[in-house]
């Protein structure tokens, strides 16, 4: 009797075990099926998240709105970026698409990383004053003065250099090249010509006076020709011309006495061209500064020479009449 009872109990236990195993298998199989469905649903939604992006390049210094580069997208779009348009280079941009999968309500996120390049494609602009400038042989000139501006659209004024093999002592044509570089290394070039015209020459005295006025006094060729025209009419370039009125500029009275005393005190012979030019220079820088300043302002043209002759005769010589000095100055300028 007891053995039969034990057999029944054993059978019941086996049946319960078998039932549990079967139920567990079914549940596991069902759970695996659900996970698979969720994965498929997630993948389907993930694959549906699409974005079409333009070429990711932007101009240096301009405002950049990353949304402007997105042609189209699905889901909700957000963008992670840290771009400084003031610094050319490559930047990482992350485009984030998100959506909610409908069947299982899963949050789906898709990230796309791209490189955004900030480029400086704009070059400096160079403005020059004249395509060709004329200078006299031996006259110092600052070529930078012919450059009106060198600017970059973003950086503003930029540094520039003027390169040339100009030899102011040798007449001829020379090219000057202006080179401007912005802060990112973009370089622009522009050229202009320099025409070195032979200095006017008449005789040894003329040449000596011209060289002193242009090199020692720093006046331009037009001013020199204006002074030379006056000296020609006063003394014909002879430093010992005259008696009561004496020398190149025919100094008289107290000015003649000053010529002698000043030259003696400064180591010059007052009877020479060198000594008298040094005295003239001294007077222009002390008692006749208005005359000197006006001479410095005349243009280096034949009209400037004409004007310089009138300035010198009225404000330094004090002659009663200018005569033909102004027209003679133009003739000297065009020698």
Residue 26 maps to which CATH number?
A: 2.60.40.10
The range of the structural domain enclosing residue 146 comes to 125-197
Which residues of the chain carry a pLDDT beneath 70? 1-28
| Pick from 293, 292, 290, 325: nearest CA to 310 | 325
Express each pLDDT in 244-259 by its tens digit.
999 999 999 999 999 9
Query: Cβ atoms within 10 A of the Cβ of 219, count?
Result: 23
State the pLDDT at residue 46: 96
Phi, psi of 162 (to 5 degrees): -120, 120
Examine the fold and report which residue of 147, 181, 197 is the final residue of a domain before the chain moves on: 197
- State residue 217's pLDDT score: 95
pLDDT for 11: 58
- Using alpha carbons, select from 218, 208, 176, 181 the residue that is nearest to residue 195: 176
Counting the structural domains of the chain, the total is 3
Domain boundary among 197, 214, 239: 197
Note whether 192 and 211 are same-domain residues. Answer: no
Pair 300, 239 in one domain: yes
Residue 256 phi/psi, 5° resolution? -65, -40
**pLDDT per position as a tens digit, 103-131:** 999 999 999 999 999 999 999 999 999 99
Q: Looking at the structure, do residues 87 and 69 belong to the same domain, yes or no?
A: yes
Q: Which of 168, 197, 226 is the last residue of a domain?
A: 197
Distance, in Å, from the CA atom of 3 to the CA atom of 9, rounded to the nearest integer, reads: 10
Q: Hey, what are 55's tokens?
A: 């070429």
Regarding whether 324 and 219 lie in a shared domain, the answer is yes
First to last CA, the chain: 153
Q: Are residues 329 and 208 in the same domain?
A: yes
Which SS3 state, helix, strand or coil, does residue 108 take? strand
């Amino acid at each position: 009797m007891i053995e039969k009872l034990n057999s029944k109990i054993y059978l019941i236990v086996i049946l319960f075990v078998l039932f549990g195993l079967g139920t567990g298998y079914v549940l596991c199989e069902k759970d695996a099926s659900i996970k698979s469905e969720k994965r498929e649903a997630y993948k389907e939604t993930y694959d549906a998240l699409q974005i079409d992006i333009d070429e990711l390049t932007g101009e240096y210094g301009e405002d950049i709105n990353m949304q402007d580069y997105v042609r189209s997208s699905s889901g909700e779009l957000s963008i992670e970026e840290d771009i400084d348009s003031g610094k050319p280079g490559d930047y990482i941009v992350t485009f984030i698409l998100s959506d909610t999968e409908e069947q299982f309500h899963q949050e789906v996120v898709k990230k796309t990383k791209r490189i955004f390049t900030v480029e400086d494609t704009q070059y400096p602009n160079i403005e020059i004053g004249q395509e060709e400038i004329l200078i006299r042989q031996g006259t110092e000139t600052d070529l930078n003065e012919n450059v009106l501006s060198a600017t970059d659209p973003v950086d503003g004024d930029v540094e520039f250099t003027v390169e040339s093999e100009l030899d102011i002592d040798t007449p001829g044509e020379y090219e000057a090249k202006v080179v401007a570089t912005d802060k990112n290394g973009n370089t622009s070039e522009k050229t202009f010509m320099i025409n070195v015209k032979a200095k006017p020459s008449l005789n040894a005295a003329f040449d000596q006076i011209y060289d002193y006025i242009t090199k020692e006094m720093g006046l331009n060729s037009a001013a020199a020709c204006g002074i030379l025209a006056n000296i020609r009419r006063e003394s014909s370039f002879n430093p010992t011309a005259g008696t009561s009125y004496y020398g190149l500029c025919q100094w008289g009275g107290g000015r003649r006495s000053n010529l002698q005393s000043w030259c003696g005190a400064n180591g010059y012979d007052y009877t020479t061209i060198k000594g008298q030019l040094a005295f003239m220079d001294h007077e222009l820088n002390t008692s006749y500064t208005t005359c000197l300043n006006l001479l410095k302002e005349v243009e280096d043209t034949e009209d400037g020479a004409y004007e310089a002759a009138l300035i010198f005769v009225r404000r330094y010589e004090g002659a009663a009449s200018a005569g033909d000095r102004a027209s003679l100055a133009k003739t000297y300028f065009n020698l």
